[in-house]
Amino acid sequence: MPDLAARFSRQVILPGFGEEAQSRLSSARVLVIGAGGLGSTVIPAIAAAGVGTIGIIDDDTVELSNLHRQHIHGIADVGRSKARSAAESVAAITPETRVVVLEARLSNHNALELFADYDLVLDGSDNFPTRYLANDAAALTGIPLVWGAVSQYGGQAGVAWAARRTQYRDLFPTPPPPGSVLSCEVGGVLPTVCATIGSIMATEAIKILTGIGTPLLGRVTTFDALSGSFRELSYERDPEAAPIEKLIDYELFCGLTPMGDEIGPEVLATELEAGVPLTLLDVREPWETRIASLPGAVLIPLDALESSIDSLDAGAAIVVYCHHGIRSARALELLKDRGFGNARHLQGGIDAWSRLVDPTVTRY
């Protein structure tokens, strides 16, 4: 079609690219994990480049606090499915691109079946269980995985392709302790860092799909926004690494709280309504409590919990909560280590409480 030829003409004329590379993109099937900060750059970039089929898997909804960095969504999308919002943006960029909307969370129950339908996966997730799951599923299905991560003023990106050379586990054999790496929720993130790392990820995907250039295999690109500098780190295949033979429990592998120590929003609401004596412990920052909080909660920010733990009754039934359940899981681990045997944490945090129990509690 003449209009398509004009649309992609500026990349087709690139040295070493040509119509063959463009044809490879149009026939490619790419799965993107997450339509958040990284996905908001990755998805429109590969769509605009002409990738024929894009799968978008994300079970989250758009929140107001997302919009400073998740530019694929707008004010009108707050409260909507991120996957559907992103799909509509793709349709506005390249109507010819087929988008598969997957309003679900990637898990060890669906990953292998999903990955088998795609040529390449882009991992824009924001947690370690999903990163290790994505790596292992890509290794078992033999396809390349492009990954990225951001936090505060920096980020990194690389390629995991076990069938060709190195994978994510060669670089990070074991996950960091829970809570030791700040999430965007806790530590914040400069929005342009998401755009920079997302652009690198999209570039790597285009290179692999078309065969141009040299992929970031055995190398990681890191970016520091405060200095404006990039660094490259090299690594090799770990000869002593155990082979990946099946998918595992990645929450357990990453040291996250067992399900028995979690309490769902609906169950907590039932216990509170029945008058069960509970201490609600809020480990967010003071500014967050001014937006939304649960009545009667004790506020001790996570960073201050260890020094203030003696102010709590070790024998009390405590339910810890934060925004999404990440900080509360780390707080629960600390409480358990200090003998708080009756402590649990709120699954999904106050965000889940707002969605499932009380929508008058503001989401942010």
Could you tell me if 122 and 149 are in contact, meaning their C-beta atoms sit under 8 angstroms apart? Answer: no
User: Position 194: which residue type?
Assistant: C
194 given a catalytic annotation: no
Catalytic residue among 120, 322, 343, 350: 322
Kindly state the tokens that stand for 49. 């480049």
Q: What are phi and psi of 157, to 5 degrees?
A: -150, 150
The kind and range of the H/E element at 193 are: helix 191-210
Q: Is 254 among the residues known to form the active site? A: no
The tokens describing 136, both together, are: 């292992």
* Catalytically annotated residue among 21, 38, 184, 331: 184
Round to whole Å and give the CA distance between 120 and 246. 19
Distance CA 114, CA 260 (A): 29
- Other CB atoms within 10 A of residue 224 CB: 13
Sign of CA dihedral 57, 61, 67, 68: negative
User: For residue 78, how many C-alpha atoms fall within 13 Å in the half-sphere facing its CB?
Assistant: 11
- Which amino acid, residue 301? P
Cα torsion 182, 184, 187, 193 to 10°: value is: 100
Angle at 265 (CA atoms; ends 261, 266), nearest 5 degrees: 115
Q: Where are the beta strands (DSSP E) in the chain?
A: 29-33, 53-57, 98-102, 120-123, 145-151, 154-160, 219-224, 229-234, 262-263, 279-282, 298-299, 318-321, 343-346
Catalytic residues: 184, 322
